[in-house]
């Protein structure tokens, strides 16, 4: 048996974690031969609920679960952590402006970034799920100067998965036939699901659908899927978000399939003309525990406009919290 790795999860008593933690402990994230120690962070008033979750984890008798830490102290939660899933975030309250939301989360993610910097394994892989995920990842990254910025990522895998299923359903195929999906930009309603490089059974997806459906139905449905779930379920997507977090980390740690790629919000190196340093969703290939942005994809004017619009939103979010960035 391998030595256990430490996986920190924030917002551990929340809805997403209620699905996520059990799947991590079952080995679905890092492999069925990799023991884990879960280091669970919550705010003080939620520690009681967290205790209940930890009791249920115990009651599952997971062979791979080598320990559980429960805490309201980020320095404890991130101590020697090899992986961190930052799920907990401040939701938008009544009357809260977008700027207030950004600032409230900046406060949380700057503290957590510092705690990661000071306590975690230098090789830590960080995934931010809590919204606004890309900008929260940027804030954590900026507060962790000793950690390579490439190690901070934001989740657009749920958007990626949604985009794959919508395409499979439209083309009468299954998810197994769909490859090379790309979500560009922000995990928000400006994200751009791109069918110009995606394939269905080896054929270019954009050639299999008409442009009016692509523009008028597909793109908005993928962009608005989160809102549609809330409307239908009366609660936000939790199990599918947890599933996407598992898939994001699994791809990053264990690699992507040959001939395919995934979408990840990653530190922009300027690829495709996107401003350097934004956490922007790109098509990525993962290998040996590292990711690379897929290079050399042709970008037409239609795509360029949409990639720029979502970049613009990310730049505005960054500027709204710039006074809080070190």
66 annotated to bind ligand: no
187 is catalytic: yes
* Residue 211: CB minimum distance to ligand NAI, A: 27
Tell me how far apart the alpha carbons of residues 237 and 227 are, in angstroms, rounded to a whole number: 9
Beta carbons of 247 and 159 less than 8 angstroms apart:
no
Beta carbons of 132 and 105 less than 8 angstroms apart:
yes
Site string for ligand NAI, 44-83 (x = CB under 6 A): --x-------------------------------------
Which of the 8 DSSP states describes residue 154?
E
Which of residues 7, 9, 16, 85 is near ligand NAI by CB under 6 A? 16
* Residue 2: CB minimum distance to ligand NAI, A: 28
Number of residues this chain uses to bind ligand NAI (CB under 6 A): 28
Q: Look at residues 17, 60, 61, 46 and name the one whose alpha carbon lies nearest to residue 238.
A: 17
Residue at shortest CB range from ligand NAI: 14
Q: Give Cβ neighbours of residue 172 (< 8 Å, ≥ 6 apart).
A: none
Based on the number of CB atoms within 10 Å of its own CB, is 235 exposed (0-12), middle (13-18) or buried (19 or more)? exposed
236 binds ligand NAI (CB under 6 A): yes
Strand partners for 150: none
211 annotated to bind ligand: no
Q: Which stretch binds ligand NAI (CB under 6 A): 11-19, 52-60, 284-292, 304-312?
A: 11-19
Side-chain half-sphere exposure of 213, counting CA atoms within 13 A: 11
Per DSSP bridges, beta strands 178-179 and 279-287 are: unpaired
283 binds ligand NAI (CB under 6 A): no
15 annotated to bind ligand: yes
Footprint of ligand NAI (CB under 6 A): 10-11, 13-17, 41-43, 46, 87-91, 108, 129-131, 133, 155, 158, 187, 236-238, 241
Extract the annotated binding site for substrate: 92, 98, 131, 162
Which residues are catalytic, by number? 187
Residues of the binding site for NAD(+): 11-17, 105, 112, 129-131
């Amino acid at each position: 048996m391998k030595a256990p790795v430490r996986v920190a999860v924030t917002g551990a008593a929340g809805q997403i974690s209620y699905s996520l933690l059990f799947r991590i402990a079952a080995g679905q994230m890092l492999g069925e031969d990799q023991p884990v120690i879960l280091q669970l962070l919550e705010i003080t008033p939620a520690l009681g609920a967290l205790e209940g979750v930890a009791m249920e984890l115990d009651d599952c008798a997971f062979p791979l679960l080598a320990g559980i830490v429960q805490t309201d102290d980020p320095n404890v939660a991130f101590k020697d952590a090899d992986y961190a899933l930052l799920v907990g975030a401040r939701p938008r309250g009544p009357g809260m402006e977008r700027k207030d939301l950004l600032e409230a989360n900046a406060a949380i993610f700057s503290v957590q970034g510092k705690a990661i910097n000071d306590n975690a394994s230098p090789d830590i892989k960080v995934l931010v799920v809590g919204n606004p995920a890309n900008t929260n990842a940027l804030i954590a990254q900026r507060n962790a100067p000793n950690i390579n910025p490439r190690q901070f990522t934001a989740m657009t895998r749920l958007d990626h998965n949604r985009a794959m299923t919508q395409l499979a359903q439209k083309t009468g195929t299954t998810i197994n036939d769909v490859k090379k999906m790309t979500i560009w930009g922000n995990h928000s309603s400006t994200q751009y699901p791109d069918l110009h490089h995606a394939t269905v059974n080896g054929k270019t997806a954009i050639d299999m659908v008409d442009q009016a459906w692509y523009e008028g139905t597909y793109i908005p449905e993928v962009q608005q899927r989160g809102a549609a779930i809330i409307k239908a379920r009366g609660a936000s997507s939790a199990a599918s978000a947890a599933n996407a977090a598992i898939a994001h980390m699994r791809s990053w740690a264990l690699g992507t399939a040959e001939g395919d790629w995934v979408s990840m919000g990653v530190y922009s190196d300027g690829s495709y003309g996107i401003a350097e340093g934004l956490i922007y969703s790109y098509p990525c290939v993962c290998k040996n525990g590292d990711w690379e942005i897929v290079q050399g994809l042709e970008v037409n004017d239609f795509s360029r406009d949409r990639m720029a619009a979502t970049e613009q939103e990310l730049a505005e979010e960054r500027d709204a919290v710039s006074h809080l960035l070190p």
